[in-house]
Amino acid sequence: MTNNREKRSRLADRTDRGFDLEARIDGRKERGLRRDLTPVESVSERSRYAEDPGADQPVFGKRTEMMVFASNNYLGLATDERVQRAASSVADSIGTGAGASRLVTGDTPVHRALERDLAESKGTERALVFSSGYAANVGTITALDPDVVFSDAYNHASIVDGCRLSDAEIVVYDHCDATALADAMADRAPDSDESWLVVTDSVFSMDGDVAPLGAVCNVAERYGAWVMVDEAHATGVFEDGGGIVQREGLTGRVHVQLGTLSKALAAQGGFVAASGPVIEHLSNTARSFVFSTGLSPPAAAAARTALSIARNGSRRTQLWDNVERLRTGLESLGFDVLGTTHIVPVLIGNRTEAMELATHLEEAGIIAPAIRPPTVPDGTSRIRLAPMATHTERDVEQCVAAFERAEEKR
């Protein structure tokens, strides 16, 4: 008689418990969702691109230099000599990596200097730097450990994942709709002793629109909830290097301000700016901070210098001049341009037409990606443009002209 151990052994021999990743990749390709890595020669307003080389080194060869209207390097500081010198100097004096968690031996003077400057820019008592904006969102939401999170429907994936990992009840309210938020809160028991957290981006990366933060704060205060705002796409491009929270005068009403160092500040990492007790709590309980090697000192130095330039230089003015020039030019051609910020989405609608337009733009020397479902809702495919402060007036004019020629080909 065959015993159970033998049966299990024969079953194990017949069963493949691995992962058919090729089938998954083929499925994404069939749905038009497969993407390639596209190596870029430099992080600037112009660069050469290479085909995805797989495991090999990219070959740029004789490929034409393209104008890049798809980067989050909004102020063009990633190749600024002052930022590069700051990173190089700190690499020489402190080291290229932090070497350990900030709670062990990875807490250096440049980390502290950057955090002081961020707190000053954001108008808070303290700031805390994480290894990425993603880590900052996930670590902060889980460390706060709310009972209920009220999350804008278009929030970034890092917020969504932070909400899921927190094990909180998640209530998604309609995008940029403070009335929907109020209705969602009113539906819950008025005498509830739950802890409530409202989380929203300030500038939304796909639509270029802005959350109604004042109205959100009004609703949150009515019900005693905390407000957390992710200023990833806003930090550095508004007055004094702040974001929408500062522009709207809401610093004292937003409990947690979060952002990234990898966009306008041209480095790597994320941060939280808040009261002393919030920062103390996060530095002890945010797992993505506690159990991660500290941000590299050169990245911290680069971000600090970039923040100083953003606060004191003319880059912000140059950026907004280019934004206005680009919006005006596209609208004069009859394009439907969304948003009100430095992110300039051109609504096309049909996925195939958006992809074709992006191809025509690339043939004209413009890198501007087509954004399609599931990143955006069905029927709202678009070209997402992100001008930089370092684009010239002629660059912007060439971009607008490329749209005009591409539209004629469709």
Give the residue numbers marked as catalytic.
205, 233, 263
Q: Which residues contact 319 (CB under 8 A, 6 or more apart)?
A: 74, 75, 237, 342, 387, 388, 389
Residue with tokens 């015993």: 3
220 phi and psi, to 5 degrees? -60, -40
User: Which 8-state DSSP code applies to residue 3?
Assistant: -
98 phi and psi, to 5 degrees? -75, -25
Can you tell me the distance from the alpha carbon of 143 to that of 137, in angstroms, rounded to the nearest whole number? 10
Among the listed residues 132, 137, 168, the one whose alpha carbon sits nearest the alpha carbon of residue 230: 137
What amino acid is encoded at 202 in this protein? S
Can you tell me the distance from the alpha carbon of 321 to that of 346, in angstroms, rounded to the nearest whole number? 18
Residue with tokens 């190749």: 79
Can you tell me the distance from the alpha carbon of 223 to that of 166, in angstroms, rounded to the nearest whole number? 21
363 phi and psi, to 5 degrees? -60, -25
Instruction: Supply 205's token pair.
Output: 């990366």
State how far Cα 333 lies from the chain centre.
30
Q: Which residues contact 4 (CB under 8 A, 6 or more apart)?
A: none
329 half-sphere exposure, CB direction, 13 A CA radius: 21
| Cβ 129 vs Cβ 269: under 8 Å | yes
Q: Hey, which bits of 118-277 come out as E strands?
A: 126-130, 148-152, 169-173, 196-201, 226-230, 256-260, 270-274
Among the listed residues 235, 309, 243, 315, the one whose alpha carbon sits nearest the alpha carbon of residue 270: 235
